[in-house]
A and B are shown apart, each in its own frame.
Chain A
């Protein structure tokens, strides 16, 4: 199923 492209911040180094 298609989901709109997304980028998310996971955390900080």
Chain B
């Protein structure tokens, strides 16, 4: 999975991620952990990739990281920001 490439642009500004979805004309922000995941999702990633990144960067348990990744990815999917690639 990765961020949609058509019509979604993002920049990190002062440590905060700002995303612009040109299809819906919405702009969005993420918190620190969300910024970490969004940067990774600029390329095709698995849920395990994202989970490992949270564990490494924030020192949380793998169980908590996996749950947080699932919730965050669900939120991105709900907003139509992801494209799911075959791997």
On A, residues with C-beta under 8 Å from B are: 2-13
CB of B86 within 8 A of chain A?
no
Interface residues of B in 30-60 (CB under 8 A from A): 30-34, 36-38, 54, 58-60
Q: How many A-B residue contacts, CB cutoff 8 Å?
A: 58
Taking CB atoms, residues of chain B closer than 8 Å to A8 are 28-30
Q: Which of A3, A4, A5, A9 contacts B28 (CB 8 A)?
A: A9
The size bracket of the interface on B is 20 to 34
- Beyond A2-B58, A13-B20, whether A7 also contacts B75 by CB under 8 A is yes
Q: Is the CB of B27 within 8 A of A5?
A: no
Q: Is the CB of B36 within 8 A of A10?
A: no
